[in-house]
Structure formats: C-alpha cells, structure tokens
Structure 1
C-alpha cells in the first residue's frame, strides 16, 4: 500500500514532466534561434526614439526569447548603419528610411519591427546666435547640429530645408550626438540650429534657449510636415540575415512587441524605474515631461503603416540625388510577417 507521500511525489514528478513537455512543444512551434548571440547597433540609445529597445533589454525580454543580445551605442544612426554594413553588428535599431537608401546603392536590407510611428525629431534654432530668426530660409550659410551626418536627424533637416528652397550644401552639418554634448554645442554657440530629439530638445526649450522651427513628435505634426504617416525607429537587418535566421528574427520581434505593449500601459514611475539613471540627464521631472510629449509616437504593435514606406520615399526624393531615376521596390524594404506572429503570441 503506497502512502500519501509517495503519491504526492508521483504527482509532482508528473506535473514537472508535463510542464517541460508543454514548454518544449511551444519552443518547437517557433523554433530555436539559429543565432542566439546577436549584436544590435543603435545611434543614441538614451533617446525616447529607441526606448522600446531599452525596455526589451532591461526587462529581460530578449533573454526570455533565448537571445543573448549585445547593444552597441553609437553617436548617430548613420554610424550604427556603418556597423551592420561593415559586419560588426547583425541588426540596426535605427531609422526605416536607411533601408531605402541602401537599396538605391544595391544593398538589400529589411525592417521587421517598427518602434516609432512618428520621427520625434525637432528642428530648433538658437536664440543666442539667431535672435531674429523668422523662417527656414534664414538658415542659409548656418551651422546645423545633427546626431551624426547622414542620420535620420540629418535627413529630416534636409527635407525641411528643401521645402524652403534650400539644398543640403547651403548649410554646414555638424555631428553633436544625442545627449549632453548636443546641449552643450547649442548653449556654447557652436551651432546655429539643431535637429535632435527628446530629452535633449526639452532641456533646451524649457529655458527658452531655442525656437522650434519644425516638430514631428506627434502623429498630427508628422503628417503636417511629411504629408503622411512617417515610420521612424525600427529594427532592420540584411535580407540575407533574416532569411538565414528566421527564428532569431522572430525572437527579436517578439521581445520588441512585448516592450511596445508594456510601454502602452506603463506609468511615468514605471519608466523612470526601468531606464538607466543616465537617461534622465540629471532632471527626472524634465524627462517625464518630455516623455509625455512623445509617447504617442511609440508604435503600439510594431506594424508598418500602409502609407509609411511611400511617405519615406517621397521625403528622401526631395533632396537625395542618389534616388533620382532609381526604381525602388518598397515591398522589399519591410515585412510585417514577424510582427503579426509576435502580436498573436503577446496580446
């Protein structure tokens, strides 16, 4: 006659077996990541533009998907792009429009999860060096700070200049990064204007050090500037990497979609507790006020908007001579397949 202790041990063993079996079954359904160690290059990780990436990292979502992710931070998106093209990174967390520029150069890269549905980039003009600023045309011959030459901040500035009849060569672009160095460059008078993002922009506007010339922190403002929905931060990689590592790509999309959904429900205190102290730039209240201005720009589900790729291409064509006469296949620059599966898994 078996005692109660024996049967209890049998039931525990059975429960552990079933739990393991179901876990194995669900892992088999998606498939183990082909490449568990992944390097992601990013340009200005502290910016709200890339906040979903930080959330996925800090909350352990990448690890829970079976990934060991190393995030390498650069001064701007153009530098992060160079890392992936050069082979020192697998994936970029950067602006979607780079996939279009790369295709024009014969290189096939694809976005697979969207982080932002508005660029969040703001063009501001110095009250110190340009107190009499009236219009964008006044920027001719001036020094404009961007996170890094060739980055999305540079592209946004180029587009705003083009709408005012100015060419990129009519101004001087200077890389100032995306944190305290950018603020210092503006305050010291090294630059006359700057295209940058929050919390940098809010640090300068709170003390009336700059005038806002063009703003894309909300969906409405973005549509006014670009004439449609403009996709912004995303994860993108070479088409060959995605084809060779579909499970790894799916795992990254899963982690990012979880982060996007977390951000939709998170309160200010949740965010402050999760991000590194350095992100606050020494002013917690300012950081949260800045977050309030840009939270609408964060994608709720990682999906590329239908008109997004066309808006991005149209924007680039206004000032980029390399796109003249090039037949761009926009359908090859993005995919929603991984995001759709991620949303089915994390509702």
Structure 2
C-alpha cells in the first residue's frame, strides 16, 4: 500500500518520532509549493512527460501542487511566464536563447525531449505537384503559433533551401483539432506540427512529409547536431530563489521520462486523457511509437545540444548575434543529474 501523507502523520504521531519521512521532508523543504506551469499544446506527445508527471502524481510526491495552464503555442506559454502569470514554462529549449538575446535570463533545468519531433508536411489538396522546397514560395504555412518552435523549424528549413521567411505566409493554427481542420479545408498549403496532428493527417492521406525531426538521426541531418526540445525552463531568479522547488520539478519530470521509456504504447494510451487520442486510439499508439525516440530517457541535455539550438535560432531570429549568447547560462544538468541519482530506475 502506498504511504500517503495522512498515513505517515498518523504513524509518526503514534511513534513520537520526528517528522523525518522523505515524503514529508520534501513537502516541507520546497520553497514554493503552489506552482503554475505554462505549456503550449499539452496534449502533444512532445509534452508527454509533463502529462505523465501530473497524471501519475509525481509532482505531489515531491510536495508540489502544480497547475498546468495550456496555451495555443509555445510563444504564448512564454508570454505567460514573462508576464508573471506562470512560474515555469514547459516549452522549447531555444526560447531560453531568444530571451537572453533580449537581456532576459531564463534557464532550462530538465529535458522532456531530445529531438524536436516537428514534422513539415505539404497539402496533397493544394500542393499535389510539390517537387522541391522552392515550391513553398508564396504559400501559406501553418504553425502552432507565430514565433513558436514550429515556426523556427520552418525558417531553418527555408534558410537551408535558399528561401527567406518572407517568401511564405505563416498562420497560427494551434496544436489540436483546429490544425487538422485548417489543413483539411485548404486554409493552409503546408504545416509544421507534431503528433498526433501529423499522424491524423497522414492516415487520411491529407499531407506529404518533406522534413521530419521525430528521430535523432533525422534531427542531426536537418540541424547538424543534437537538438534539445521540450524542457522545463524558468527565470534565473526563480531557480536561484527556489532551488529545492526546481529540484522537485526536475525529479518529477525525470521519473516521467523513465516511465515513458519503460512502458509500451498500449499502457501510455490508457494512461493519458481520452481527449489526447483525437478519437483514434490506434493512431495515437502509432504516433507514440513514431515519437518515442524523440523523448528524453533521463532529462539531461546533450553536450552539443545548446550550440546546435543557438545555430538554428540565429537563422530564425533577425539580428541575433551568437557571439553575444552565453550558452552556459541557458541550461543546467545539475537538477536532472540529482534526479537520476534519486530515481535511477522507474
């Protein structure tokens, strides 16, 4: 039987011992118990560790009460934490670089993904004769939200293929059913999105994939190295003032990372809310299998990841000077290292 806080209190009271049980100590130690995490598209497999940590009670095990605020895209989630309505972002790693370029210091402290898992696909309806990236010129490309990681991936792809962001029109379509509808109805000609949105469109033969970052090998081919993706990041001030809270959050995410790797698609599909499945459980399971490699097994950032992300972002953000970015200040593996020591297994 799981030892709950209430049972522990009874046992400690009965024995007259000091409150020294690990669960109680964690609850007492965290500097900030009530935490709001902003995320852009919670149902995406990209953010699956966040959902698993919430569903499996890993945050509560660390003495935290976490509220997850869901937004249409990563850039909106970022605005929430900068604006003060959220404490932490579950978002794309590269936002920490963009923020530093603007004089705002935010740090990633635990990974959920080790590859972007973003897929760029063209519409079979409006672009049936697509032959090369040059055919994207003048087209409408759907992204989760302007300024999001999906937008960045497209910009990087365009840059690699001799095009400019101004050669296309970007349209925010979100990361759920609205994105699927936008493609089905011809509102957009191409889309950068994630599963299960992409998987749904592929099953219906609505799109053709032209760039894919769901595997580490494909990610390296496109970006030139390891490319960290979904992570928890927060302001340097938040982490400095609340190191035990940051550690508790990292512990929960690392446990979730390991749980996902240890379980099959069938188990995961039964664990997440029905709304995540978009009405097709078999498709969702296929998407899980296609994306599992992109999810972090241990919450750690690969050594070359930050420099790869900086290179990609420099191709996306006008006037961003890579020489002015201090990579050491955009991430830390300290908390994930500690979490792996605490939870070496699931």
Shorter-chain TM-score category?
over 0.9
Deviation at 1:322, TM superposition (A): 2.9
Residue correspondence of structure 1 range 182-221 to structure 2 within 5 A = 182-221=179-218
Deviation at 1:272, TM superposition (A): 1.5
Residue correspondence of structure 1 range 63-142 to structure 2 within 5 A = 63-142=60-139
Q: Is the 8 A contact 1:183 1:200 kept in 2?
A: yes
Mean Cα deviation higher: 235-244 or 270-279: 270-279
Corresponding residue for 1:7? none
The 3-state SS of whatever aligns with 1:213 is: strand
Deviation at 1:167, TM superposition (A): 1.1
Deviation at 1:325, TM superposition (A): 6.2
Q: Deviations over 1:157-198 (max 9, x none)?
A: 100011111111111100000011000000000000000000
Counterpart of 2:303 (choices 303, 306, 327) is 306
The 3-state SS of whatever aligns with 2:86 is: coil
The 3-state SS of whatever aligns with 2:109 is: strand
Does residue 58 (structure 1) correspond to residue 49 (structure 2)? The answer is no
Deviation at 1:137, TM superposition (A): 1.3
Q: Is the 8 A contact 1:104 1:322 kept in 2?
A: no
Corresponding residue for 1:146? 143
Q: TM-score, normalised by structure 2?
A: 0.93
Look at both structures and tell me which one has the larger radius of gyration over its CA atoms.
1
The 3-state SS of whatever aligns with 2:319 is: helix
Does residue 162 (structure 1) correspond to residue 149 (structure 2)? The answer is no
Q: TM-score, normalised by structure 1?
A: 0.93
Deviation at 1:99, TM superposition (A): 0.2
Cα separation, 2, equivalents of 1:156 and 1:338: 28
Residue correspondence of structure 1 range 274-285 to structure 2 within 5 A = 274-285=271-282
Aligned-residue Cα RMSD (Å) equals 1.8
The 3-state SS of whatever aligns with 1:107 is: coil
Q: Is the 8 A contact 1:31 1:247 kept in 2?
A: no
Does residue 342 (structure 1) correspond to residue 332 (structure 2)? The answer is no
Q: Deviations over 1:72-92 (max 9, x none)?
A: 000000000000001000000
Q: Which segments of 5 or more consecutive residues in structure 2 lack a partner in the other structure?
A: 1-9
Residue correspondence of structure 1 range 1-16 to structure 2 within 5 A = none
Deviation at 1:343, TM superposition (A): 0.6
Deviation at 1:268, TM superposition (A): 2.0
Residues 1:165 and 1:292: Cα distance change in structure 2 (over 3 Å): same
Counterpart of 1:263 (choices 256, 260, 265) is 260
Point out 4+ residue stretches in structure 1 off by more than 3 angstroms.
Answer: 12-22, 26-31
Deviation at 1:14, TM superposition (A): 8.7
Q: Which segments of 5 or more consecutive residues in structure 1 lack a partner in the other structure?
A: 1-11
Corresponding residue for 1:241? 238
Mean Cα deviation higher: 69-78 or 325-334: 325-334
Cα separation, 1, equivalents of 2:85 and 2:33: 16
Cα separation, 2, equivalents of 1:244 and 1:178: 33
Q: Is the 8 A contact 2:30 2:248 kept in 1?
A: yes
Residues 1:332 and 1:13: Cα distance change in structure 2 (over 3 Å): closer
